[in-house]
Structure 1
Amino acid sequence: MTATKPEVAQETFDSLDPATDEVVGTYPVHTPDQVKASVEQARAAAEWWASLGFAGRGDRLRRWAALVAQRMDELCAVVQRETGKPHGDAQLEVVLAIEHIAWAARHAPKVLGRKRRSAGLLLSNHTASVEYVPLGVVGVIGPWNYPVYTPLGSITYALAAGNAVVFKPSEYTPGVGKWLVDTFAEVVPERPVFQLVTGFGATGAALVSAGVDKIAFTGSTATGKKIMAAAAETLTPVVIEAGGKDVLIVDSDANLDAAAEAAVWGAFSNSGQTCIGVERVYVQESVYQPFVDKVVELTRKVEPGRQYGPITMPAQLDVIRRHIADALARGGRALTGGEVGERYVQPTVLVDVPEDSQAVTEETFGPTMTVAKVRTIDEAVEKANATRYGLGSTVFSKRNGTRIAARLKAGMTSVNAPFSFAGIGSLPFGGVGDSGFGRIHGPEGLREFARPKAVARQLFPSPVQLTTFARTEKTDRLVAKLVTVLHGRRRAG
């Protein structure tokens, strides 16, 4: 008799409320074998999902958007428990996510559907077309700071393009991921089109190597590089949305009240735990002091624990503390805040900080900002671009906003308002440099999760046959003459 192999108990982990350390849920640590099984299930589900076509998938996505909207308070409560952010902030990211679900569902047919292309004169006996077909299975590794809005920027667009998705949320927000997967299953109960795997970094690594057709990752630059290296082993393409050190530029003609409000919101909302959050501010010298005065006045009204939550990831407290200490040790001054507690960080405005300090060069990811005086906008642009990051940016100027925006090395720029590019469904979202590459949102986001398929169809035989061994010298001379007439009239040089 063969002995029965004992079953290995499923390892689990707890999700905690960062404000209290209360356990709000317990979730499995999925093993590589379990992750691979999910991807295999998704492979079969992807064929069925793709077969529904744009109309069928669009209908299901719109029903999902409606369900999320109807149960918004329920989702916001899960976000609050796992991130500590206020209800209003949780609702804001849910509302934006719903907008993107609706946009992707509505525009996928036009962006990805078959389109005619010109066949050209040499092959005028053909029709030519291109369409975008699904990749198959997309793996999404999401962050904890915006656990609804950010991963859905990949998930929604991948689903609209006809892919199945396996989602690994942050270990800090698994409950949000489960809520999203469970509600999607209510409108798509037939097949496991959208699945959840939970755990730590090893689970994410397992997803990268589990045979998915693309990985969409949001997180730190360091982790993004590791994912790229692992994905390269199987030539799995990736889209990376990594860190940022985003800038706000204030021109001399700016509306200072609006600019100060944007700086304060951009730097301190969500405890500064925003990849596109404002971390550096450059102000033209003629308006520097009144701008700083307005920022300080507004900052003193911001209350940690009421208007923003705790630092979600405890290790980040040490980074924030180090950046503030380095800035102060090198001659900087804290006009507000500067204190880092056990869970909360006071909103901190730093001035006179050297440009090579950690608070200026490294991503802080906390409720701090540096404000610096510049003589000209040229100087502001030069300093803004002197970073290895390039994600978002903001400009306040009545006359020159668009021109300044065009000069910034960033994937996105908002003029005279904070973060507005993030809420516009038609605009692509992503960065350059150490902020990553690839795009979510907009037509570019839909195409990110599909591959172009070109089709050329012959309508009738051509009297000039080029692709045959029976081609004659006469044909070659005719083709050379034709090309010379069409393209050779302009003199070289």
Structure 2
Amino acid sequence: MTSDVSQRSPGTAAFFTSNEPASGDPIARFPKMDATAVTALVADARAAGEQWSAIGFAQRRRALLAWAGELSRSSRDLTNLIHRENGKPHDDAYMELVIALEHIAWAARNAKRVLSTRRVNAGILMANYRARIQYEPYGVVGVISPWNYPLFAPIAPIASALAAGNAVVLKPSEYATAVARDLVDAFHRANPGLNPGVLSLATGQGETGAALVASGIDKLEFTGSPRTGRIIGKACAETFTPVVMECGGKDALVVAADADVSKAADAAAWGGFSNGGQTCVGVERVYVHQSIATEFIAALTDRLIGAHSGVSGNCTYGPMTLEAQTDIVYRHVDEAVAGGAQTPLGAMERINGRLIDPIILVNADENSPAVQEETFGPTVTVKVVESIEEAIALANGTPFGLGASVFSRENGQPIADMLRCGMVSINSVLAFVSIPALPFGGVGASGNGRIHGAEGLVEFSRTKSISTKYIELPGLNGMLLNRASVTIPALKTLTRGRFSWRRGGIR
């Protein structure tokens, strides 16, 4: 059955259809909003945001938790819609929902603690001042979200932005618009007394996203490819619009000689192939010490025998959501095999259109696209290394730096410390995603800024510093054109007493 969201609005000239990825069957039709329609949404959001900010932390907490409750009560319909629009199995869709709900709850319950005004020490030089830091919402935050996690990916930044007192305009991927519509509708069902502009939906394709960037929003959160991220970054620079970006990864799993091989293989199978490998922090590369490499490769291969892509209830994961992504997988595997990679499960014959069964590429050329570019599909490269130092160097050897994983009984933390990335799981994979208090983000081509956790709440808040003089110190005010004669001598005495005696730096 197809739903129709086709009421023509000002600035709407055309429509697009969201389809099931495997069958191509239509799910719903949505308007392609142009700049006029998006600008109107932002104007409505600005007015609504002033009211939303004014109601305070306690009321926003109540509204966000009510939203989580409504999403939970709608779980059956919502997970079915995720399955239809994204292709992932129902159980994986439910796991996505559970994680999303935890992030809403954390933001709702911790915003006051993190963002309340706090006093800081003014220091001895300004001892007659009180100093405080306060956090204020930006106003209107735009969120451009991807298709691979159609519920969790937008909810995480939205929850933080709303908890901080901002209104939000969500522009989802055109391949995940039906799910986005439902999550926005759930917010308003849970909070019928709120202005609809607190959380609104901008539907469309790339042009709609560009219109949102140029609409006068106060901050943007973007999740997507580095190529699109660069375009958006340049556009935001024109208006000095701050932006937090998550632009994908090529995450590595380092398996040390003292690792639990069985658990490492389980983690590599889950991290590499859940969601069909369409996970920004999924495992795409494995570096395993030569002393356990044969055992690990055999264990990983064993975990994946019988795993398959499909649309039925017994499939391991769903089809590739985008046909273009299938082409990337095909090219990466083809070039890796041509370059000498071994394929214990098979290679090209496992690619059947959007249905791609697991592929392991052993000892692929480190300069090949399969190793250096984000594949975003059900493939994992496995490289046998002679030392952990080699593993670390190779793990750090791509432009990306989003997440990583380490398996080691004794040296997990030292190895994690040497990995260039924003997040690391030790003796697990992807665990940091499910811990709402941990910030999420990367370095290098993986983007900048953070969502989730306290850092995510601060990310969607303007920091304001306030100093208040509460007493005069006669003769010690240096910030005068006509200082007292005792001011500079007193400051010299104070400074010598505090600093001049210090000697013996690093030699």
Whether the TM-score (by the shorter chain) exceeds 0.5 is: yes
Q: SS of the residue aligned with 2:142?
A: strand
Structure-2 separation of matches of 1:398 and 1:465:
59
**Equivalent of 1:445 in 435, 456, 463:** 456
Structure-2 separation of matches of 1:426 and 1:152:
15
Gaps of 5+ in 2: 1-9
The yes-or-no answer on 1:321 pairing with 2:326 is: no
Q: How does 1:244-283 map to 2 (within 5 A)?
A: 244-283=249-288
Structure-1 separation of matches of 2:264 and 2:50:
49
The yes-or-no answer on 1:174 pairing with 2:177 is: yes
Structure-1 separation of matches of 2:290 and 2:210:
48
Q: State the match for 2:410 in structure 1.
A: 399
Once the two structures are TM-superposed, the CA of residue 492 in structure 1 deviates from its matched residue by: 7.6
Structure-1 separation of matches of 2:262 and 2:15:
49
Q: State the match for 1:475 in structure 2.
A: 487
Once the two structures are TM-superposed, the CA of residue 460 in structure 1 deviates from its matched residue by: 1.9
Q: State the match for 1:95 in structure 2.
A: 98
Q: Mean Cα displacement is larger for which, 370-379 or 63-72?
A: 63-72
Once the two structures are TM-superposed, the CA of residue 188 in structure 1 deviates from its matched residue by: 3.0
RMSD, aligned α-carbons: 1.2
The yes-or-no answer on 1:332 pairing with 2:344 is: no
Q: Structure 2 length as normaliser, TM-score? A: 0.94
Q: How does 1:48-447 map to 2 (within 5 A)?
A: 48-189=51-192, 190-191=194-195, 192-305=197-310, 306-338=315-347, 339-447=350-458
Q: SS of the residue aligned with 1:460?
A: coil
Q: State the match for 2:3 in structure 1.
A: none
Letter in 1 for 2:322: M
Q: Over residues 347-391 of structure 1, what are the superposed CA-to-partner deviations in whole Å (9 max), with x where a residue is unaligned?
A: 101113111111111111100011111111111111101110001
Once the two structures are TM-superposed, the CA of residue 8 in structure 1 deviates from its matched residue by: 7.9
Letter in 2 for 1:386: G
Aligned pair count reads: 487
Gaps of 5+ in 1: 1-6
Q: Is the 8 A contact 1:337 1:346 kept in 2?
A: no
Structure-2 separation of matches of 1:241 and 1:219:
6
Once the two structures are TM-superposed, the CA of residue 155 in structure 1 deviates from its matched residue by: 0.6
Once the two structures are TM-superposed, the CA of residue 337 in structure 1 deviates from its matched residue by: 3.7
Q: State the match for 1:3 in structure 2.
A: none
**Equivalent of 1:488 in 500, 503, 506:** 500
Structure-1 separation of matches of 2:483 and 2:504:
30
Once the two structures are TM-superposed, the CA of residue 491 in structure 1 deviates from its matched residue by: 3.6
Q: Structure 1 length as normaliser, TM-score? A: 0.97
Structure-1 separation of matches of 2:158 and 2:432:
19
Q: Is the 8 A contact 1:31 1:203 kept in 2?
A: yes
Q: State the match for 1:461 in structure 2.
A: 472
Structure-2 separation of matches of 1:208 and 1:229:
10
Letter in 1 for 2:435: I
Q: Over residues 210-269 of structure 1, what are the superposed CA-to-partner deviations in whole Å (9 max), with x where a residue is unaligned?
A: 000111000001000000000011000100101211111111111111100111111111
Letter in 2 for 1:256: V
Once the two structures are TM-superposed, the CA of residue 398 in structure 1 deviates from its matched residue by: 0.5
Structure-2 separation of matches of 1:51 and 1:275:
36
Q: SS of the residue aligned with 1:471?
A: coil
Structure-2 separation of matches of 1:249 and 1:415:
10
**Equivalent of 2:23 in 6, 15, 20:** 20
Q: SS of the residue aligned with 1:278?
A: coil
Q: SS of the residue aligned with 1:473?
A: coil
Q: Over residues 60-90 of structure 1, what are the superposed CA-to-partner deviations in whole Å (9 max), with x where a residue is unaligned?
A: 1111111111221221111111101000111
Letter in 1 for 2:258: D
Structure-2 separation of matches of 1:127 and 1:458:
6
